[in-house]
Amino acid sequence: MAKVLATEIRAGNLIEWDKRVWRVLKSYHVHVGGRGGAFMQVEMKDIETGTKTNQRFRTDEKIERAFVESRDFEYLYNDGASYVFMDKETFEQISLPEDLLEGQKEYLLPNTDVQINFHNDRPIGVQLPPTVVLTVKETEPGIKTATATATFKPAKTETGLTVMVPQFVSEGERIKVSTDSGEYMERG
């Protein structure tokens, strides 16, 4: 088994903790100024029972990664009840239930390349690319003279994800979004 630093834990990763295999839903780096060291706040879900928990790990702590087989897939479509992916080597299609993609479905567009993690030949998680480019469908009108300012406004994307964007971004524009944090990075 491979151990990784807590700071390397990302959403979609599988880790072994407390004698169970957990899928990481969210991972935040937290630093409380002047009150001790930084830590990682990790929200995770037990892949067997489905129970969720929040856990803090010191940034220098080593965490056991679960042994998984990652395979390259391409997201095809949502059939209403599940999400359909195609294996890029064998062209076989598999359907994954929505609860397996918890917190990740808003980043999926058709033809997106992803990695699906398998544990004992069972799909247990999807690893998204680090960023995706989405089209803004709804937002307040942009301010033409706005430059990179500290004020942000909500923007709803084509997948239903709401992202805080700078004032100069307007409807119809493509934006690059981090799949780890859900934050706006730049125009796409």
Measured CA to CA, the distance from residue 54 to residue 71 in angstroms comes to 28
Q: Would the pLDDT of 6 be above 80?
A: yes
Q: Tokens 């959403």 identify what position?
A: 11
Residue 69 amino acid letter: E
User: The domain that contains 52 carries what CATH number?
Assistant: 2.30.30.30
Among 82, 98, 127, which residue terminates a domain? 127
Question: Which of 81 and 116 is assigned the larger pLDDT?
Answer: 116
Rounded mean pLDDT of 46-74?
A: 89
Exposure of 36 in the CB half-sphere (CA atoms within 13 A): 4
Rounded mean pLDDT of 23-40?
A: 83
For residue 133, which of 115, 111, 166, 103 has the smallest C-alpha distance?
Answer: 111
User: How would residue 13 be classed by pLDDT, with cut points 50, 70 and 90?
Assistant: confident
Look up the domain containing 14 and give its range. 2-65
Share of the chain above pLDDT 90, in %: 46
Same domain flag for 16 and 53: yes
Rounded mean pLDDT of 9-37?
A: 84
Same domain flag for 13 and 48: yes
- 166 and 175 in contact (C-beta within 8 Å)? no
Q: Tokens 């524009």 identify what position?
A: 173
Measured CA to CA, the distance from residue 92 to residue 75 in angstroms comes to 12
- Split into its structural domains, the chain has a count of 3
User: The domain that contains 102 carries what CATH number?
Assistant: 2.40.50.140
Q: Tokens 């879900």 identify what position?
A: 45
Which stretch of DSSP H or E encloses residue 171? none
Same domain flag for 109 and 135: no
- 134 and 183 in contact (C-beta within 8 Å)? no
**H-type helices in 31-110, by residue range?**
none
Measured CA to CA, the distance from residue 16 to residue 41 in angstroms comes to 16
Q: Would the pLDDT of 143 be above 70?
A: no
User: How would residue 65 be classed by pLDDT, with cut points 50, 70 and 90?
Assistant: confident
Number of Cβ within 10 Å of residue 85's Cβ equals: 24
